């Protein structure tokens, strides 16, 4: 191998031949630089291997089961949901047809006796933007997130996803819940699978292209948000920039929160609330708090200042669709209040926020997210498929869960000094109307980071939180929920342009299309008093003096 000093002598000699004296020193040095870069590219190309050749460079502990080039528009997801609506399947199929050609690598990790982690890394055949993007999962994971891989691929990223080591888990199928009866699997789900996927991706990217990614990013919401926080806390060198939303990071306590809603309604049969009454309750909240930002638009922009009292719609006499009975009021107050220890009154998990009421019906009457918590208690915690949720103890069971699984599943460590020292940037977001994971959990975590890092100024240079008014769990609702997360985190990470406000739009079909500025917490967006109320330019981010953070 020729030394760097010897190489420079060769390059300068070649430059002397290529350049006549009249071009001078500047041109000569430019040619030296071009020759050096070209030599570097040639060396990188020489080190690179073909897609099929990646089988020979499997990361430590991994078995590569597939390494092949997928042609333009030729990918078909192996886990396509056959029960999905036809329009959804058509949309996904079309999205895959728009994919460019890419190198697809599938791997299996077995870091522990019960482990079985599936990973896929996708790398563009051409047009790679020089960056890696890891994408997150939802619920208990259980499968590769092909849709998010496709989205990253269309933006030019090399990208990766894992099944979090819980392959085959699907909430409606109780027979698959047994995968949770293993501490190895819980550790994989908690943090190990995501980290191993990330390490593997960087190795394969360097092997294929001859150079590693210039920057590595993470993007995930819900469980994917938890994965992002786990990376920042446990493996601070893995990613340069992390986007995480509505995170299931206080996982064990979230499981109790998801049972709290039904327990509150179950404690008194008379306290059950017909779904239609949530509409009346939400209407009452809007009447009380919608106009606080200067615009009546069906959105509570500052829920922390919404001091709504559900007693205002108490039934005066007989029960009716527009009022709440005494027993129903008790249920509503329990949901707003959040899960609490019945003995000490200590909070277990924050309650729901005014403005989220339209999502409560799904939490109380439809076995959606509640199934995630049921599977946790029956299989992961108690490992008794006959365990009855009516026996759930919001005192002793919380202690048991934290001791048994807290280290594996909870990602609430506020000490992000190592991530900051690495130059990492963390973009947090949460829908204010999220009915599944209380948005106050993100607020509390952000405040804990501020406290741990020594104040706002030492925190907001690398961590910022954006709350999304009128937005549900990760997306949906009347609020502005669509914004270019990757452009924001890339500018912040690569150019040092920290976001003070992010323009988002309402991407849904219901109601008029709107745009709003998302403000860095604790600021909120208020109408300027003039201009189009559907346009973000008519709003400004303002800080309430009562909400200043130290």
Query: Per the structure block, which two tokens stand in for 493?
Result: 């990470």
Cβ(51)–Cβ(69) under 8 Å? yes
Residue 356 is among the residues annotated as catalytic for this protein: no
Query: How many distinct helices (H) and strands (E) make up the chain?
Result: 16, 13
Q: Looking at 473, 481, 506, 538, which residue is catalytic?
A: 473
DSSP 137-183: --TT--S--HHHHHHHHHTT-EEEEE-TT-TT--TT-GGGGGGGS-H
Q: Looking at 293, 405, 434, 481, which residue is catalytic?
A: 434
Residue 481 is among the residues annotated as catalytic for this protein: no
Q: Tell me the C-alpha to C-alpha distance, in Å, between residue 539 and each of 148, 352, 502, 518.
A: 32, 26, 12, 10
Q: Looking at 161, 222, 373, 515, which residue is catalytic?
A: 222
Q: Where are the beta strands (DSSP E) in 369-484?
A: 425-431, 463-468
Query: Per the structure block, which two tokens stand in for 437?
Result: 């994971």
Residue 222 is among the residues annotated as catalytic for this protein: yes
Give, as one character, the DSSP assignment of residue 1.
-
Cβ(474)–Cβ(431) under 8 Å? yes
Q: Where are the beta strands (DSSP E) in 458-544?
A: 463-468, 501-505, 515-519, 524-527, 539-542
**Cα(28)–Cα(19) distance, integer angstroms:** 6
Q: Among positive and negative, which fits the CA dihedral 62, 68, 74, 78? A: negative
**Cα(361)–Cα(409) distance, integer angstroms:** 28
How many CB atoms are closer than 10 A to CB 246?
29
Q: Tell me the C-alpha to C-alpha distance, in Å, between residue 473 and each of 149, 211, 328.
A: 21, 38, 25
**Cα(506)–Cα(65) distance, integer angstroms:** 42
Query: Per the structure block, which two tokens stand in for 412?
Result: 């609430």
Known catalytic residues are: 222, 434, 473
């Amino acid at each position: 191998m020729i030394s760097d000093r010897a190489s420079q002598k060769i390059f300068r000699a070649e430059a002397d031949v290529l350049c006549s004296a009249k071009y001078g020193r500047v041109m000569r040095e430019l040619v030296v630089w071009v020759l050096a870069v070209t030599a570097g590219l040639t060396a990188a190309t020489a080190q690179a291997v073909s897609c099929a050749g990646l089988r020979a460079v499997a990361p430590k502990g991994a078995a590569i089961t597939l390494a092949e080039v997928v042609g333009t528009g030729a990918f078909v997801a192996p886990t396509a949901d056959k029960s999905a609506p036809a329009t959804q399947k058509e949309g996904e199929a079309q999205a895959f047809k728009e994919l460019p050609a890419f190198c697809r690598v599938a791997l299996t990790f077995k870091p522990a006796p019960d482990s079985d982690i599936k990973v896929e890394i996708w790398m563009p055949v051409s047009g790679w933007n020089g960056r890696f993007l890891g994408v997150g999962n939802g619920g208990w994971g259980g499968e590769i997130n092909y849709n998010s891989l496709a989205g990253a691929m269309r933006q030019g990223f090399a990208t990766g996803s894992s099944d979090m080591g819980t392959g085959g888990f699907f909430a409606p199928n109780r027979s698959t819940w047994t995968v949770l009866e293993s501490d190895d699997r819980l550790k994989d789900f908690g943090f190990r699978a995501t980290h191993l996927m990330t390490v593997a991706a960087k190795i394969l990217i360097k092997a294929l292209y001859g150079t590693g990614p210039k920057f590595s990013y993470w993007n995930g919401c819900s469980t994917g948000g938890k994965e992002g926080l786990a990376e920042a806390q446990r493996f601070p060198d893995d990613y340069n920039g992390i986007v995480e939303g509505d995170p299931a990071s206080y996982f064990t306590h979230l499981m109790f929160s998801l049972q709290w809603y039904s327990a509150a309604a179950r404690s008194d049969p008379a306290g059950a609330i017909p779904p239609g009454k949530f509409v009346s309750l939400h209407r009452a909240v809007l009447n009380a708090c919608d106009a606080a930002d200067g615009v009546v638009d069906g959105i509570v922009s500052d829920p922390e200042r919404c001091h709504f009292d559900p007693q205002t719609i108490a039934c005066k006499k007989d029960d009716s669709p527009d009022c709440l009975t005494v027993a129903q009021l008790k249920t509503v107050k329990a949901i707003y209040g959040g899960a609490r220890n019945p003995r000490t009154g200590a909070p277990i998990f924050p309650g729901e926020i005014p403005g989220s009421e339209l999502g409560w019906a799904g939490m109380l009457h439809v076995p959606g997210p509640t199934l995630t918590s049921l599977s946790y208690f029956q299989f992961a915690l108690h490992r008794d498929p006959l365990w009855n949720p009516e026996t759930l103890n919001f005192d002793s069971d919380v202690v048991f869960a934290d001791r048994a699984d807290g280290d594996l599943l909870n990602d609430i460590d506020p000490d992000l000094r190592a991530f900051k020292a690495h130059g990492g940037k963390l973009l947090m977001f949460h829908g204010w109307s999220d009915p599944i994971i209380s948005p106050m959990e993100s607020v509390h975590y952000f405040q804990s980071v501020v406290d741990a890092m020594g104040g706002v100024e030492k925190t907001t240079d690398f961590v910022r939180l954006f709350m999304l008014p009128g937005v549900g769990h990760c997306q949906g609702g009347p609020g502005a929920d669509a914004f270019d997360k990757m452009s924001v985190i890339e500018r912040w990470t690569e150019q040092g342009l920290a976001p003070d406000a992010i323009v988002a739009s309402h991407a849904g079909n219901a109601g008029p299309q709107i745009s709003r500025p998302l403000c860095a917490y604790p600021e909120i967006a208020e109408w300027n008093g003039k201009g189009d109320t559907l346009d973000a330019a008519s709003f400004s981010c303002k800080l309430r003096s009562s909400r200043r953070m130290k």
